Structure 1
Amino acid sequence: MKQWLFGTEQIATTAALFPQEAYKGDIVTDLFGDASYFADAAAFWALQNVAIASLRDDLAAKGWKVTVLDRGARFPSWRYDEVPLEEGGEAFIEVRNNGEVEIHEGYRAYAETCGPAEAEEVDRAPQAARAELTKAAENYLALHRHAIVRAELLAHPGIALRLAAAHMIASSPLWSVKPDPQRADKETTSQSVASSPAQSALDTERHAVLELLQLEKSYYGTVTRGNGDPFTAASLFAGLLALPEEAVLRILAVVMAETLAAGSILTEAAGLAIKPDVTRWWKLDGVFLDLLNDRAEINALLSEVAGKAVADANVSEPGKVQKKIIHDCLNGEGRERADGFVPRYMSFPIGHYDPNKTLEIVSASEGLNALFT
């Protein structure tokens, strides 16, 4: 009556996959003593489940992909094709409410949408792996693992430094870092920069860092990749962990130099902090002189290079003539050589010659000097 009311089933001792002596509960028999049953279902299932798990592991060791169905769920054989193990067949363990266990070997899900002509193709096609966790569960894991790693990073600044370097070089979904393209308005400007000692120094150090990291140049010809490839970033991070801090800082310096935006406030700020020896890296050349077209600024420049007397004596001359005098002074051609001359345009902080006219870099940089004094 109890079984009829609550839908439970008696579990015969013949259903046990485990030795009967392992069961410590009571065993009952029917009215005639022809069949015996486990009185303690919970104790039975504790032992039976261990045996099922062992059965699952044995099948897996033989190469089967094994699925244990929910207790009471029937194996729907009509939804599967019979396929041997060598062709991707799977094994299913059916566990019934009465304790009986049945193994179904050599089955693979049949694509019901396929017609007869396509069935053979389906058999040969690799089956998509089923997700182990729900999206929500994976999201839960991702957020908690993220929180743990972030908290631990606070106590490991050396690892954080290397992780930041990997992010800068390879980028990530949250880091978008790319090298400055150094776009020039004129081809002569591009050639002037490319042949400068400063550019040569960066190129030499870039080559050394690429060798240190065992990397090829990026699409841009730089260390910085900017493509957000996660495996590249992880590989770089692993390599950086094996390097001393001096080497990591050396790499960071190159990447920072590559990704410093030309004409930006931060470039000016970095110059104020570094106070570079401009004469070591640059000298006034004909390319820049050719770009000057305001006679007033040209005359002011001439005054600094050759002196006020020379500038005043040529104040009404065309700009072309005055620029020729500047060129001669810089190269010592018929005039006293002006070695180490740095115009206000190339000093740090930057200056200019006509207070009544604007210069974008100067305007943008206003207020920086006080920050770095």
Structure 2
Amino acid sequence: MSAALFDVEACKIETIADLFGNEAYFASLEAFWSLQMAEVENRAQQLREAGWGEVVVLERGDTFHSWEHERMAQAKGGRVYVAIGHRGEVTFHEGYVTTKEARRLECGEALEKVARPEVSSTVNAYIDLHRHAAVRARLVEDTGLSLRVMVAHAIAGSCLWSVRIEPQKAPNDAVAESVENCLSESLFDARRREVLALLGFDADTPTVTAGAPDGEGLCVLLRRLIALDDAEVLRVLAVVMGETLSIGTSMIEMLGQHMGVTMADVWQADDALLDAVRDREVIGHLLADVAGKKVAAENAKATSKVQRGIICDCLTGTNGRRRHESWVPRWMAFPASAYTERGGVGSVERSMRIAEPAEVENAGPDTSNPLPQAA
């Protein structure tokens, strides 16, 4: 409140005191700034009437850098700079010119008078606020245009919009290569390339999100979206949503179940997964999954390396093993489930989290087909 240039008591603006009563704050920032800027303009006008040829009111938050200016008397063309901080503090720097202008004066050159803006910052704010309100009121009635504006913001961002791309960070090169080469990524990339072409982006642009046509900004992108029909805009939206869909969340679980995603249609086991499974009990369960209870029991005491080899033989149909097609470990299915009661499986925990109460009561590891033990 101490930053106020206006008479607080006379304006009867509502204030709120802190816990100790040492400082007070204005209840309405809008009311404060309206009164503060009006007083800034009033004092600037008083300075002009007092003989200062120029009074420059800086934009709110802009800093007056003294090292970029030199002292200069009013009679020699010095001007007043008014700096306004974000917390409301106002500083009047009287009698300054820029360093460049000071050198010119030393050489006997006259200063070019900076043209006074046609309107003040208060008038500019008034104009911007009312134009914004008018556009927003019309935009809310035009759902088709609103969709395109939203998609443009999601792609290009703005001072209020910040959308991040899922980095798909893998723990090692093997996992990264497995994901990059999977069918799901190929299908998604094909759709992404179609959208890049629709928007006129470079074909080598890695993502639609955060991209821009020929390096241009939000408005150019919006013009291109306006030229597309609704079906095409929705195709763009779908790719942007896919690029910004977070990994390892309940949303993935919910969407997978809602859409009935069948992992066997787009995935098959590879070394990146099997080599990463080190737990003997879990490997035994995987072996029972693909080779059956009898084979699992016969090899219950075999090393993990041997059991893993049998799993690979069953998945590829080699070394005399019957091929087990379309196998998906329980953790990767929708909904996900566990092999043991030990926990620690993120997909299973998220599946439980979004399940209906009745489903949660019946959830847990599938014990209807327990792993047989060796004699």
TM more than 0.5: yes
Q: Does the 8 Å CA contact 1:223/1:255 hold for their aligned counterparts?
A: yes
1:291 aligned counterpart, secondary structure: coil
Q: Does the 8 Å CA contact 2:248/2:346 hold for their aligned counterparts?
A: no
- For 1:178, the equivalent position in structure 2 comes to 164
How many residue pairs are counted as aligned between the two chains? 268
Residues 1:255 and 2:240 are matched in the alignment: yes
Compare 314-323 and 144-153 and name the one that shifted more.
144-153
Residues 1:224 and 2:237 are matched in the alignment: no
- For 2:104, the equivalent position in structure 1 comes to 118
Q: Does the 8 Å CA contact 1:177/1:226 hold for their aligned counterparts?
A: no
1:185-234 deviation digits (Å, cap 9, x = unpaired): 10011111111111112222212211110113798x2111079xx96111
- For 2:251, the equivalent position in structure 1 comes to 266
- For 2:352, the equivalent position in structure 1 comes to 366
Aligned pairs for 1:95-244 within 5 A: 117-119=103-105, 130-216=116-202, 221-225=206-210, 232-244=217-229
- The correspondence for 2:276, drawn from 261, 286, 291, is 291
- Long gaps (5+) in structure 1: 1-71, 81-109
Q: Does the 8 Å CA contact 1:272/1:369 hold for their aligned counterparts?
A: no
Larger radius of gyration: 1
Query: Which TM-score applies when normalising by structure 1?
Result: 0.64
CA gap of 1:128–1:339, structure 2 versus 1, over 3 A, is farther
C-alpha deviation, 1:247, in angstroms:
0.4
Compare 321-330 and 268-277 and name the one that shifted more.
268-277
1:168-191 deviation digits (Å, cap 9, x = unpaired): 111112221121111111001111
- For 1:67, the equivalent position in structure 2 comes to none
Query: Which TM-score applies when normalising by structure 2?
Result: 0.63
Q: Does the 8 Å CA contact 1:178/1:226 hold for their aligned counterparts?
A: no
CA gap of 1:185–1:142, structure 2 versus 1, over 3 A, is same
Q: Does the 8 Å CA contact 1:171/1:226 hold for their aligned counterparts?
A: no
2:334 aligned counterpart, secondary structure: coil
Q: Does the 8 Å CA contact 2:286/2:329 hold for their aligned counterparts?
A: yes
CA gap of 1:322–1:255, structure 2 versus 1, over 3 A, is same
Q: Which amino acid aligns with 1:330?
A: L
- Long gaps (5+) in structure 2: 1-48, 54-74, 78-95, 360-375
State the distance in 2 between where 1:79 and 1:199 align. Answer: 70
CA gap of 1:303–1:325, structure 2 versus 1, over 3 A, is same
CA gap of 1:318–1:122, structure 2 versus 1, over 3 A, is farther
- For 2:293, the equivalent position in structure 1 comes to 308
State the distance in 2 between where 1:319 and 1:193 align. Answer: 25
1:213-258 deviation digits (Å, cap 9, x = unpaired): 0113798x2111079xx96111111110110011001111111111
Q: Which amino acid aligns with 1:336?
A: R
State the distance in 2 between where 1:205 and 1:261 align. Answer: 19
CA gap of 1:239–1:310, structure 2 versus 1, over 3 A, is same
2:355 aligned counterpart, secondary structure: helix
Q: Does the 8 Å CA contact 1:111/1:122 hold for their aligned counterparts?
A: no
Q: Which amino acid aligns with 2:104?
A: E
- The correspondence for 1:282, drawn from 262, 267, 270, is 267
State the distance in 1 between where 2:303 and 2:335 align. Answer: 30
Q: Does the 8 Å CA contact 1:179/1:259 hold for their aligned counterparts?
A: yes
Q: Which amino acid aligns with 1:173?
A: C
State the distance in 1 between where 2:133 and 2:258 align. Answer: 36
- For 2:30, the equivalent position in structure 1 comes to none
State the distance in 2 between where 1:112 and 1:325 align. Answer: 80
Task: Work out the percentage of aligned pairs sharing the same amino acid.
Answer: 37
- For 1:5, the equivalent position in structure 2 comes to none
State the distance in 1 between where 2:289 and 2:171 align. Answer: 27
Q: Does the 8 Å CA contact 1:279/1:342 hold for their aligned counterparts?
A: yes
CA gap of 1:155–1:218, structure 2 versus 1, over 3 A, is farther
Q: Does the 8 Å CA contact 2:104/2:110 hold for their aligned counterparts?
A: no
1:88-140 deviation digits (Å, cap 9, x = unpaired): xxxxxxxxxxxxxxxxxxxxxx9697678524999799986643332222222
1:290-340 deviation digits (Å, cap 9, x = unpaired): 000111111111111111111121122222111111111110002111111
Q: Which amino acid aligns with 2:356?
A: A
Q: Does the 8 Å CA contact 1:162/1:248 hold for their aligned counterparts?
A: yes
Q: Which amino acid aligns with 2:236?
A: I
1:133 aligned counterpart, secondary structure: coil
CA gap of 1:116–1:358, structure 2 versus 1, over 3 A, is closer
Q: Which amino acid aligns with 1:200?
A: S
Compare 116-125 and 275-284 and name the one that shifted more.
116-125
Q: Does the 8 Å CA contact 2:331/2:348 hold for their aligned counterparts?
A: no
